[in-house]
A = this chain, B = another copy of it.
Protein backbone atom coordinates (compact mmCIF):
# COMPACT_ATOMS: atom_id res chain seq x y z
CA UNK A 1 0.00 0.00 0.00
CA UNK A 2 1.27 3.42 -0.96
CA UNK A 3 0.79 5.88 1.86
CA UNK A 4 0.99 9.60 1.21
CA UNK A 5 0.81 12.58 3.54
CA UNK A 6 -0.18 16.04 2.36
CA UNK A 7 0.95 19.06 4.33
CA UNK A 8 -1.31 22.00 3.59
CA UNK A 9 1.14 24.88 3.13
CA UNK A 10 -1.72 27.28 2.45
CA UNK A 11 -5.45 26.70 2.13
CA UNK A 12 -4.95 26.04 -1.57
CA UNK A 13 -1.55 24.39 -1.82
CA UNK A 14 -0.18 21.16 -0.46
CA UNK A 15 3.11 19.28 -0.48
CA UNK A 16 2.42 15.56 -0.83
CA UNK A 17 5.09 13.14 0.32
CA UNK A 18 5.15 9.38 0.05
CA UNK A 19 5.76 7.80 3.43
CA UNK A 20 7.66 4.59 4.01
CA UNK A 21 6.98 4.36 7.74
CA UNK A 22 5.82 6.29 10.78
CA UNK A 23 8.62 6.00 13.33
CA UNK A 24 7.00 7.91 16.17
CA UNK A 25 3.66 9.60 16.90
CA UNK A 26 2.79 11.16 20.24
CA UNK A 27 1.92 14.40 21.94
CA UNK A 28 3.34 16.68 24.54
CA UNK A 29 1.43 19.34 26.47
CA UNK A 30 2.32 21.73 23.62
CA UNK A 31 1.83 19.89 20.32
CA UNK A 32 1.55 16.69 18.35
CA UNK A 33 5.00 15.31 17.63
CA UNK A 34 5.73 12.80 14.89
CA UNK A 35 8.69 11.40 13.00
CA UNK A 36 7.98 9.87 9.59
CA UNK A 37 10.33 8.32 7.08
CA UNK A 38 9.57 9.76 3.66
CA UNK A 39 10.93 8.46 0.36
CA UNK A 40 12.06 11.85 -0.94
CA UNK A 41 13.12 13.72 2.20
CA UNK A 42 14.16 10.84 4.47
CA UNK A 43 13.24 11.08 8.12
CA UNK A 44 11.26 14.17 8.99
CA UNK A 45 10.12 15.81 12.22
CA UNK A 46 6.47 16.88 12.02
CA UNK A 47 4.81 19.14 14.62
CA UNK A 48 1.05 19.58 14.55
CA UNK A 49 1.11 18.23 11.01
CA UNK A 50 3.67 20.75 9.75
CA UNK A 51 7.05 19.61 8.39
CA UNK A 52 9.77 21.04 10.63
CA UNK A 53 12.96 19.49 9.35
CA UNK A 54 14.14 16.58 7.23
CA UNK A 55 17.45 14.78 6.96
CA UNK A 56 17.41 15.59 3.23
CA UNK A 57 17.60 19.37 3.48
CA UNK A 58 18.04 20.34 7.15
CA UNK A 59 21.63 21.38 6.55
CA UNK A 60 20.45 24.45 4.67
CA UNK A 61 18.23 25.93 7.37
CA UNK A 62 20.62 25.09 10.20
CA UNK A 63 23.75 26.38 8.46
CA UNK A 64 22.09 29.61 7.36
CA UNK A 65 20.39 30.45 10.65
CA UNK A 66 23.63 29.86 12.56
CA UNK A 67 26.62 30.91 10.46
CA UNK A 68 25.30 34.09 8.89
CA UNK A 69 24.66 35.95 12.17
CA UNK A 70 27.65 34.38 13.92
CA UNK A 71 29.94 35.90 11.28
CA UNK A 72 28.17 39.24 11.29
CA UNK A 73 29.29 39.51 14.91
CA UNK A 74 33.10 39.87 14.99
CA UNK A 75 33.62 37.80 18.16
CA UNK A 76 30.58 35.96 19.54
CA UNK A 77 31.32 34.36 22.93
CA UNK A 78 27.93 33.85 24.55
CA UNK A 79 25.11 32.66 22.31
CA UNK A 80 21.50 31.72 23.00
CA UNK A 81 19.29 29.47 20.88
CA UNK A 82 15.57 29.79 21.57
CA UNK A 83 13.77 26.70 20.33
CA UNK A 84 15.86 24.47 18.07
CA UNK A 85 14.99 21.31 19.96
CA UNK A 86 16.03 19.10 17.04
CA UNK A 87 19.61 20.17 17.76
CA UNK A 88 20.60 21.13 14.23
CA UNK A 89 21.27 24.79 14.99
CA UNK A 90 23.33 23.81 18.05
CA UNK A 91 25.38 21.45 15.87
CA UNK A 92 26.34 24.38 13.63
CA UNK A 93 26.79 26.93 16.42
CA UNK A 94 29.37 24.85 18.31
CA UNK A 95 31.61 24.80 15.19
CA UNK A 96 32.55 28.42 16.00
CA UNK A 97 35.88 28.67 17.81
CA UNK A 98 35.09 31.98 19.51
CA UNK A 99 32.02 30.64 21.27
CA UNK A 100 32.47 29.78 24.96
CA UNK A 101 28.86 29.02 25.85
CA UNK A 102 25.86 28.13 23.68
CA UNK A 103 22.68 28.10 25.76
CA UNK A 104 19.51 26.49 24.43
CA UNK A 105 16.04 27.06 25.78
CA UNK A 106 13.52 24.68 24.20
CA UNK A 107 9.99 24.54 25.52
CA UNK A 108 9.18 20.97 24.52
CA UNK A 109 11.36 18.23 26.00
CA UNK A 110 9.59 15.67 23.83
CA UNK A 111 11.00 17.31 20.68
CA UNK A 112 14.51 16.95 22.12
CA UNK A 113 14.00 13.32 23.13
CA UNK A 114 12.44 12.30 19.83
CA UNK A 115 15.16 14.09 17.83
CA UNK A 116 17.91 12.43 19.84
CA UNK A 117 16.43 9.03 19.17
CA UNK A 118 15.15 9.26 15.56
CA UNK A 119 17.22 12.09 13.99
CA UNK A 120 20.75 11.43 15.28
CA UNK A 121 22.42 13.23 12.33
CA UNK A 122 20.64 16.41 13.32
CA UNK A 123 20.80 16.09 17.12
CA UNK A 124 24.42 14.99 17.32
CA UNK A 125 25.47 17.93 19.56
CA UNK A 126 22.69 17.00 21.98
CA UNK A 127 23.51 13.30 22.01
CA UNK A 128 27.20 14.02 22.47
CA UNK A 129 26.51 16.50 25.29
CA UNK A 130 28.84 18.96 23.61
CA UNK A 131 30.85 20.77 26.34
CA UNK A 132 29.94 24.24 25.05
CA UNK A 133 26.22 23.46 25.03
CA UNK A 134 23.85 24.19 27.95
CA UNK A 135 20.40 22.83 27.22
CA UNK A 136 17.45 23.90 29.34
CA UNK A 137 13.87 22.77 28.83
CA UNK A 138 11.79 25.86 29.46
CA UNK A 139 9.98 28.87 28.07
CA UNK A 140 12.18 31.09 25.89
CA UNK A 141 9.70 33.96 26.14
CA UNK A 142 9.93 33.93 29.95
CA UNK A 143 13.69 33.60 29.78
CA UNK A 144 13.92 36.79 27.72
CA UNK A 145 11.85 38.62 30.32
CA UNK A 146 14.32 37.61 33.04
CA UNK A 147 17.72 38.19 31.40
CA UNK A 148 19.59 41.40 30.71
CA UNK A 149 22.80 42.37 28.83
CA UNK A 150 24.02 38.80 28.51
CA UNK A 151 24.22 37.51 24.93
CA UNK A 152 26.31 38.41 21.89
CA UNK A 153 23.96 36.58 19.52
CA UNK A 154 20.44 35.21 20.00
CA UNK A 155 19.09 32.73 17.44
CA UNK A 156 15.32 32.32 17.45
CA UNK A 157 14.94 28.89 15.82
CA UNK A 158 11.19 28.59 16.15
CA UNK A 159 8.27 27.00 14.35
CA UNK A 160 5.44 28.99 12.75
CA UNK A 161 3.67 31.90 14.46
CA UNK A 162 0.74 29.72 15.56
CA UNK A 163 0.63 27.47 18.60
CA UNK A 164 3.53 27.53 21.09
CA UNK A 165 5.63 29.84 18.92
CA UNK A 166 3.14 32.70 18.50
CA UNK A 167 4.62 34.81 21.29
CA UNK A 168 8.03 34.76 19.59
CA UNK A 169 6.74 37.06 16.86
CA UNK A 170 5.65 40.01 19.01
CA UNK A 171 6.98 43.50 19.72
CA UNK A 172 7.09 42.68 23.43
CA UNK A 173 9.31 39.69 22.75
CA UNK A 174 11.67 41.73 20.55
CA UNK A 175 11.93 44.35 23.32
CA UNK A 176 13.09 41.64 25.70
CA UNK A 177 15.50 40.23 23.13
CA UNK A 178 16.99 43.72 22.84
CA UNK A 179 17.34 43.89 26.61
CA UNK A 180 18.93 40.42 26.83
CA UNK A 181 21.58 41.29 24.24
CA UNK A 182 24.86 42.98 25.07
CA UNK A 183 25.32 46.55 23.78
CA UNK A 184 26.70 45.31 20.44
CA UNK A 185 24.56 42.18 20.24
CA UNK A 186 22.33 40.97 17.44
CA UNK A 187 19.60 38.41 16.92
CA UNK A 188 18.17 36.39 14.04
CA UNK A 189 14.80 34.75 13.57
CA UNK A 190 13.37 32.54 10.86
CA UNK A 191 10.68 34.66 9.23
CA UNK A 192 8.87 32.37 6.80
CA UNK A 193 8.30 32.72 3.05
CA UNK A 194 8.51 36.00 1.12
CA UNK A 195 5.89 34.54 -1.22
CA UNK A 196 3.28 33.39 1.27
CA UNK A 197 3.84 35.41 4.44
CA UNK A 198 4.19 38.95 3.19
CA UNK A 199 2.07 40.68 5.83
CA UNK A 200 3.95 38.93 8.60
CA UNK A 201 7.33 39.89 7.18
CA UNK A 202 6.28 43.54 6.83
CA UNK A 203 5.01 43.67 10.39
CA UNK A 204 8.08 41.98 11.84
CA UNK A 205 10.37 44.28 9.91
CA UNK A 206 8.56 47.30 11.35
CA UNK A 207 8.59 45.87 14.90
CA UNK A 208 12.29 45.01 14.78
CA UNK A 209 13.30 48.27 13.07
CA UNK A 210 11.49 50.23 15.80
CA UNK A 211 13.93 48.72 18.34
CA UNK A 212 17.17 48.03 16.47
CA UNK A 213 19.17 50.53 14.36
CA UNK A 214 19.97 47.84 11.79
CA UNK A 215 17.41 45.39 10.39
CA UNK A 216 18.34 43.09 7.49
CA UNK A 217 16.64 40.19 5.78
CA UNK A 218 18.44 37.30 4.08
CA UNK A 219 17.35 34.30 2.04
CA UNK A 220 17.92 30.57 1.71
CA UNK A 221 16.52 27.82 -0.53
CA UNK A 222 14.70 25.17 1.54
CA UNK A 223 12.69 22.67 -0.56
CA UNK A 224 10.71 21.36 2.43
CA UNK A 225 9.20 24.74 3.30
CA UNK A 226 6.36 26.56 1.51
CA UNK A 227 7.58 28.10 -1.78
CA UNK A 228 11.12 26.73 -1.33
CA UNK A 229 12.31 30.26 -0.51
CA UNK A 230 12.77 31.09 3.16
CA UNK A 231 13.87 34.28 4.84
CA UNK A 232 15.57 35.21 8.09
CA UNK A 233 15.50 38.64 9.74
CA UNK A 234 18.40 40.07 11.72
CA UNK A 235 18.01 42.86 14.28
CA UNK A 236 21.41 44.29 15.16
CA UNK A 237 22.51 46.95 17.69
CA UNK A 238 25.82 47.74 16.01
CA UNK A 239 27.10 45.42 13.28
CA UNK A 240 25.64 45.71 9.78
CA UNK A 241 25.43 42.42 7.87
CA UNK A 242 26.06 44.33 4.64
CA UNK A 243 29.50 45.41 5.90
CA UNK A 244 30.75 42.13 7.32
CA UNK A 245 34.46 41.47 6.87
CA UNK A 246 34.31 38.12 5.15
CA UNK A 247 38.05 37.54 5.34
CA UNK A 248 37.46 36.27 8.87
CA UNK A 249 35.39 33.36 7.56
CA UNK A 250 37.42 30.13 7.55
CA UNK A 251 37.39 27.57 4.73
CA UNK A 252 37.09 24.54 6.97
CA UNK A 253 33.61 24.94 8.40
CA UNK A 254 32.42 21.62 6.93
CA UNK A 255 29.19 23.02 5.52
CA UNK A 256 27.12 21.66 2.64
CA UNK A 257 25.30 24.91 1.74
CA UNK A 258 26.84 27.92 3.53
CA UNK A 259 30.06 29.48 2.26
CA UNK A 260 31.87 32.82 2.28
CA UNK A 261 30.18 34.02 -0.92
CA UNK A 262 26.71 33.27 0.43
CA UNK A 263 27.45 35.38 3.53
CA UNK A 264 27.13 38.34 1.17
CA UNK A 265 24.91 37.09 -1.64
CA UNK A 266 22.10 35.88 0.64
CA UNK A 267 21.37 39.56 1.41
CA UNK A 268 20.88 40.39 -2.29
CA UNK A 269 17.10 40.55 -2.48
CA UNK A 270 14.87 40.22 -5.55
CA UNK A 271 12.79 43.33 -6.24
CA UNK A 272 9.53 41.93 -4.89
CA UNK A 273 11.25 41.15 -1.55
CA UNK A 274 12.79 44.61 -1.36
CA UNK A 275 9.31 46.03 -1.93
CA UNK A 276 8.07 44.20 1.18
CA UNK A 277 10.61 46.04 3.29
CA UNK A 278 9.93 49.58 2.11
Contacts and interface: CB of A to CB of B under 8 A. Distances in A.
Contacts of A16: 6, 13-16
Given A11-B18, A227-B223, A227-B228, A262 B270 contact: yes
A261 interface: yes
Interface in A26-64: 38-41, 57, 60
Interface of A: 4, 6, 10-18, 38-41, 57, 60, 195, 219, 221-223, 227-229, 255-259, 261-262, 264-265, 268-272, 274
A195 B271 contact: no
Contact of A271 (B10, B39, B255, B270): B255
Tallying the copies of this chain within the complex gives 2
Nearest to A10: B40
A34 B266 CA distance: 36
A19 B56 CA distance: 30
Contact of A270 (B17, B60, B223): B60
A180 B128 CA distance: 59
Contacts of A4: 14
A202 to B, nearest CB: 17
